[in-house]
Structures are given as structure tokens and as C-alpha cells.
Amino acid sequence: MKPRALLLFAALLAALIAPARAAEGRFSHAITPVEFVEAGLKKLSSDQLASIDALVRREGARTVVLGRAESSATGAKSPGFSQRLLPSERDAAGLALLGETELARLDALVERRLAPPPTTTLLAPPIFAPNAPQARAIERAGERR
């Protein structure tokens, strides 16, 4: 009976974790409701939002493989997310329905999503403890030769 209970617990746990993992990959579900409205995403259909989610996911994969493409010699930044898309991708995502400020906000949100996590630094040097206590010889006065 124990294996059956363990199997039931595992199935329940998987059912609870699966929706959370699916939402993790969606850009449109990862931003706050205020950011959603500010970026004009409320104007778009569910198909257009799914298209944006897929394009952001693809952009993230491309960023991991190719790295950030910014020119350090000229100081010019690469174009924003919406400018890097092909016209057919822009149409599928419904970006023509968004204004300039909304597109700029969408670009900023995508760049924030794709930015690498901040690095952590040590505030103090590490302290290495010995693996085992050091053995000390104990001499007693009566045992000396």
C-alpha cells in the first residue's frame, strides 16, 4: 500500500508543478498586470500574445547562443526587440496595433527579461576550515623516558 500512496503523491505533485512551469516560459504571464497594460498587450488577441511569447522565447535562445550583439567600438546599441522582427513576424504579433510608447515599453520589458541575472560578489574573503582536527601529542611527566 505504501508504493500506491507514493505514486499518488508523485502524480499530485506533478499536476501542481506542471502549470507553474508552463507559465514560466511565457513572457506575457511573467510581467505584472500594470506592465501588461502599459505595453499595450491588452489590445492584442490571444493568438498574437502567443506569437509574442514564442518570439521572445526564440530571442532568448538566440541570445544564449550568439551573445549580446552590441557594438562597443561605436557605442551604438542593437535595435530593440520589435525592430529586429521581420515584417511577417510583426504582423503575426499584432505590433501594428501598438503606439510608439507602447512599443518602446515592450522592447524594454523584453530586454529586461532577456538580461542575464546579476552576478554576486563576495563581501569578505572566504575562510577555509581544515577538513580534520589536527592531532597533538600529549606528554605526561611520568611517561617520559
pLDDT tens digits along 99-130: 999 999 999 999 988 887 776 666 777 677 76
Cβ burial of 88 (10 Å; 0-12, 13-18, 19+) is: exposed
For residue 31, which of 128, 107, 143 has the smallest C-alpha distance?
Answer: 107
Q: How confident is the model at residue 22 (pLDDT cuts 50, 70, 90)?
A: very low
- Would you state the pLDDT for residue 103? 92
- Would you state the pLDDT for residue 136? 73
Number of C-alpha atoms within 13 angstroms, CB side, residue 125?
A: 3
- Would you state the pLDDT for residue 68? 53
Find out whether 26 and 53 touch, Cβ atoms under 8 Å: yes
Residue 54: all three cell numbers together: 514564442
- Would you state the pLDDT for residue 34? 92
Residues of the chain with pLDDT > 90: what percent?
A: 29
Q: What is the pLDDT of residues 26-60, one digit of tens each?
A: 888 988 999 999 999 999 999 999 999 999 998 88
